[in-house]
Copies of this chain bind each other. A is one copy, B any other.
């Protein structure tokens, strides 16, 4: 592994934040799939920064160029490469990062891992910017899944101490997922958005940042998808979700909450609804033994607050081997959680296409 993921549909992500370009190769897509480029552009714009006060003002066009694998608007079955040129990158801000690493970033660990040869500008290959090719790959995969009846959508479940209404995991409508998956700040309860935006703004005003939780659902996944043990939906999905920078927790269904329940509460009782087996509750998040039950697949991913903050921080000087102070220059995203939503959805799409195709 590393920046390559998948078995049936493999993705190979490349690029660095301030390099020439970033992109992804998808190998193994089915042929003949029509691509809706507007739908791709929508997902890219959901991830792109600079839309409002809650995100960094740096402008990114992020219109992916299709390099290969598509002819006359349809997949050819050959590897699909999508590439996004990096423009408007000023690299002067980052000279000091190999000397005084930023807390919470990969500066120090990457320095050790690559013997100092890594591209540190803007975080290099560790930058959240690398979620752009991930979102692109997911935008391609979700169209293909949608044609097979699978819909994916997520919302900002929480920012700091403010939270949105959670999914009712047994009853998630197509309409809700369609609405969420096209929104820039997707929430179930519009009031929650207001409160969460205030939390972000307060962090921004304090030259600080906020973390949060994304809750995601997939409906239409037939029962019986997945494999036991390491091939289950949970391990497969988590192995791509934790690849999203800043993701520090993943839970399925009741997740950590299930740990506090008794079996009689947590077990989802079966019943028949029009010849279909369903469960009355869905604490399992639609997954038993790693395999889909036919109920909505529901999971949450926790994102730590953006490590780039305006206030002075304690760090070290790796050259003098002494303690040092650091001020992260430039303007940074006080909260990446809304922009992480399409990345989480993308991860779900890429994982599910690997298990369903």
Binding site for B on A (CB under 8 A): 1-5, 7, 10, 12-16, 19-23, 25, 27-28, 31-32, 65-69, 71, 74-81, 83, 101, 103-106, 108-110, 112-119, 124-126, 130, 158, 160-161, 203, 206, 208-213, 223-232, 234-236, 238-243, 245, 247-256, 258-272, 275, 277, 279-280, 283-285, 287-293, 300, 302-309, 311, 313-316, 318, 321-323
B10, B67, B112, B251: the one within 8 Å of A12 (CB): B10
Q: How far is the CB of A244 from chain B (nearest CB, A)?
A: 8
Contact check, B277 vs A77: say whether CB atoms are below 8 A apart.
Answer: no
Q: Which of B78, B209, B254 contacts A228 (CB 8 A)?
A: B78
Extra inter-chain contacts (13) besides given A76-B125, A103-B269, CB under 8 Å: A3-B78, A3-B229, A3-B230, A12-B79, A14-B79, A20-B66, A108-B277, A208-B263, A209-B264, A210-B262, A211-B261, A211-B263, A232-B243
Are B248 and A253 in contact, CB atoms less than 8 angstroms apart? yes
- If A74-B117, A211-B266, A313-B269 touch, whether A2 touches B19 (CB-CB below 8 Å) is no
| Nearest CB of B to A273, in Å | 10
Cβ 8 A contact of A270, one of B101, B256, B309: B101
A-B contact pairs, 14 of them (CB 8 A): A13-B229, A14-B25, A15-B79, A21-B81, A32-B115, A83-B83, A105-B288, A109-B226, A109-B292, A213-B259, A235-B242, A259-B305, A263-B309, A266-B307
Interface centre among A208, A234, A267, A302 (most CB of B within 10 A): A267
> Do A291 and B110 contact each other (CB < 8 Å), given the known contacts A81-B23, A261-B305?
yes
Residues of B within 8 A of A290 (CB): 106, 242-243
Would B25 and A77 count as touching, CB distance under 8 A?
Answer: no
Q: Could you tell me if A25 and B27 are in contact, using CB atoms closer than 8 angstroms?
A: no
**A112 and B67: CB pair below 8 A?**
no
In the complex, chain B residues whose CB is within 8 Å of the CB of A78: 3, 14-16, 118-119, 124-125, 228
B229 near A160 with CB under 8 A, answer: no
| Docked complex Cα distance between A238 and B240 (Å) | 10
- Chain B residues lying within 8 Å of A311, measured Cβ to Cβ, are 264
Minimum CB distance partner of A5 in chain B: B230
Tell me which residues across on chain B come within 8 A of A206, comparing CB atoms.
262
Which residues of the other chain, B, contact A283 by a CB distance below 8 angstroms?
304
The one of B31, B77, B116, B230 in contact with A240, judged by C-beta atoms closer than 8 angstroms, is B230
Q: Are A79 and B309 in contact, with the CB atoms below 8 A?
A: no
Chain B residues with CB under 8 Å of A77's CB are 113-114, 117-118, 125
Interface hub of A66, A75, A290 (most chain B Cβ within 10 A): A290
B251 contacts A234, CB within 8 Å? Answer: no
